[in-house]
Amino acid sequence: MGETNKTAITPTREEDYPEWYQQVVKASDMADTSPVRGCMVIKPWGYALWENISKILDGMFKESGVKNAYFPLFIPLSFLEKEAEHVEGFAKECAVVTHHRLEKKGDKGLVPAGKLTEPLVVRPTSETIIGDSFAKWISSYRDLPVLINQWANVVRWEMRTRIFLRTSEFLWQEGHTAHATKKEAIQRTNMMLDVYNKFAEDYLAMPVIKGRKTASERFPGAVDTLCIEGMMQDKKALQAGTSHFLGQNFAKSSGIKFQSKEEEEVFAWTTSWGVSTRLIGGLIMAHGDDDGIILPPKVASSHLVLLPIYRKPNDRSRVMEFTQNLAKELKAKHYHNQGLEVEIDSREIGGARGWEWIKKGIPVRVEIGPRDIDNDSVFVARRDMGHRDKKSMKREVFIGQITDILDEIQNNIFDRALEFRKTNTVHINSNKEFYSFFTPENIQKPEIHGGFAMSHWCGSDKCEAKIKDDLKVTIRCIPLDDNNDEKGECICCEKPSRRRVVFAKAY
């Protein structure tokens, strides 16, 4: 590691981005593969990150009036069949339970014995099973709105899997609400998108674009799907959160109806919205470098690590006492409504210890040796500044400035990600330039993509499908802001268009 151009992760992002991602996950000790196809084991360092994400989001949900509940993992097949678009959209991803009980049968060993009277689908999403409960809970307009969220696991039998980004089982939250009016349901749909937007940018330091999905990209059974889209460092898009206006579709299929103020029986208006452990994959790809992950301080598994250094056995007690007292003072400080999480790593493994924490992405590393103690100082390294950037700070100054340092790191990695997106977002008006942007000549690294193309689209499903077939490029969203409203010509067919949309390759 002594060479100036040496990196902790091999290959680098430039050399092989997909393999770089896999190696970062492994090196950070966040997750591991499991014996179950397509599933992951989330290790303590990764799960602590998910706990922080969950805690912050849960607080934001509750501030908006949402309450937590829990619903069954198993969903009767007949429930999914009630909503035609819904079952069609999820059919290929469903894991289905058809038997209960195992019996030993000769040389065959254990085999399924009792066949279920109705197959059960392992939860791919919960609109239908929650809708069944809503139908029981709601009978009058006085019962509305119902604002529910659940933290749960989900199973979608993916063909190609990648840890955190796309796994057969993953963790998520799913919010489900029922309202007396269409207006209220649409307001809630937009409100939850704003929550996701704020969380992505303020906490994950991930700049995102708020937008609307096209009809072909909507959630199955939804009337409207809103989303946030972020750009990863291979210039692909990542859908980081969705909020769906379901209209009355699921209310009709589940029988969610109530007596209105006018004493008429009407169907409720419903929404659903969710984010998942995919956010961790997005965080890695938005901020990681060739030394590993870089954790945004506001959600980091821990904020800083203290690394006591001593070469003489006689120095150990003095260095450890200084380190433990420093940790105590740091833990007493508050950072964005939480206490500072401080690690002490006193293992005697030489320089490898520091590199482990670099790869784990901890925001601040602090080295403490006998000379530092003599000067009442510490040696500080920020993860966002590269592994060679270290400086000595007086102990009291460091304690006084630590929360400001963490905020500087948070803001710095957001600004870098925003600048990267700006640099790799282009306005394209010609079909030839558009195709060239996504299929550059003599491309050497097919996993590195053009970026975001802001181009006109006429609204035709055929044009959207042609571009997807030709280039594997999709319309990530129709931006909700007004900056892209202008007359132009469709990038595919040259027919009139009223606004630009975001085209990109995506995860």
3-class SS letters over 80-132? HHCCHHHHHHHHHHCEEEEEEEEEECHHHCEEEEEEEEEEEEECCCCHHHHHH
Q: Are strands 146-155 and 67-68 parallel, antiparallel or unpaired?
A: parallel
Average pLDDT of the segment spanning 266-285: 98
pLDDT tens-digit map of 172-184: 999 999 999 999 9
Q: Walk me through the domains of the chain, giving residue ranges and CATH numbers.
A: 17-72+125-287 (3.30.930.10), 304-420 (3.40.50.800), 425-504 (3.30.110.30)
Task: Please report which residue ranges of 375-460 form alpha helices under DSSP H.
Answer: 395-423, 431-438
127-to-77, 187, 272 alpha-carbon distances in Å: 13, 19, 7
pLDDT tens-digit map of 10-48: 999 999 999 999 999 999 999 999 999 999 999 999 999
Distance CA(207)–CA(186), nearest Å, equals: 24
Half-sphere exposure of 377 (CA within 13 A, CB side): 11
- As given in the structure block, the two tokens for residue 2 are 């002594």
Give CA angle at 83 (143, 474), nearest 5°: 110
Task: Please report which residue ranges of 332-460 form alpha helices under DSSP H.
Answer: 352-360, 370-374, 395-423, 431-438
Local confidence band at 1 (pLDDT 50, 70, 90 cut-offs): very low
Q: Is the pLDDT of residue 256 over 90?
A: yes
- Taking the C-alpha atoms of 356, 162, 424 and 440 in order, what is their torsion angle to the nearest 10 degrees? 120
Q: Which residue carries 């199955």 as its tokens?
A: 220
Read off the DSSP letter of residue 30: S
52-to-35, 306, 364, 433 alpha-carbon distances in Å: 27, 21, 18, 43
- 3-class DSSP assignment, residue 391: strand
Q: Is the pLDDT of residue 103 over 60?
A: yes
Distance CA(30)–CA(23), nearest Å, equals: 11
Please name which of 207, 186, 184 lies closest in space to residue 197, comparing C-alpha atoms.
207
φ/ψ bin of 249: left (φ > 0), alpha (ψ from -120 to 50), beta (otherwise): alpha
With pLDDT > 90 as the criterion, what percentage of the chain qualifies? 88
pLDDT tens-digit map of 120-144: 999 999 999 999 999 999 999 999 9
- What's the pLDDT score for residue 450? 85
Q: Which residue carries 């019962």 as its tokens?
A: 143
Look up the pTM and report it: 0.95
Average pLDDT of the segment spanning 70-86: 90
**Mean pLDDT, rounded, of the chain:** 94
Distance CA(266)–CA(7), nearest Å, equals: 63
pLDDT tens-digit map of 471-502: 999 999 999 998 878 999 999 999 999 999 99
Other CB atoms within a 10 A radius of the CB of residue 440 amount to: 14
Residues β-bridged to residue 289: 292
Read off the DSSP letter of residue 484: T
Do the beta carbons of residue 351 and residue 344 sit within 8 Å? no
Distance CA(299)–CA(296), nearest Å, equals: 6
Element of type H or E holding 45: helix 44-63
Local confidence band at 84 (pLDDT 50, 70, 90 cut-offs): confident
Distance CA(21)–CA(482), nearest Å, equals: 35
- 3-class DSSP assignment, residue 308: strand
Do the beta carbons of residue 77 and residue 119 sit within 8 Å? yes
Distance CA(90)–CA(155), nearest Å, equals: 11
Cis bond leading into 145, ω under 30°? yes
Rg of the chain's alpha carbons, rounded to an integer? 26
Q: Which residue has the higher pLDDT, 108 or 373?
A: 373
Distance CA(197)–CA(241), nearest Å, equals: 8
Q: At what angle do helices 461-471 and 431-438 cross, to 10 degrees?
A: 40
Q: The dihedral of CA 179, 180, 181, 182: what is its sign?
A: positive
Q: Are strands 377-382 and 390-394 parallel, antiparallel or unpaired?
A: antiparallel
Distance CA(285)–CA(373), nearest Å, equals: 38
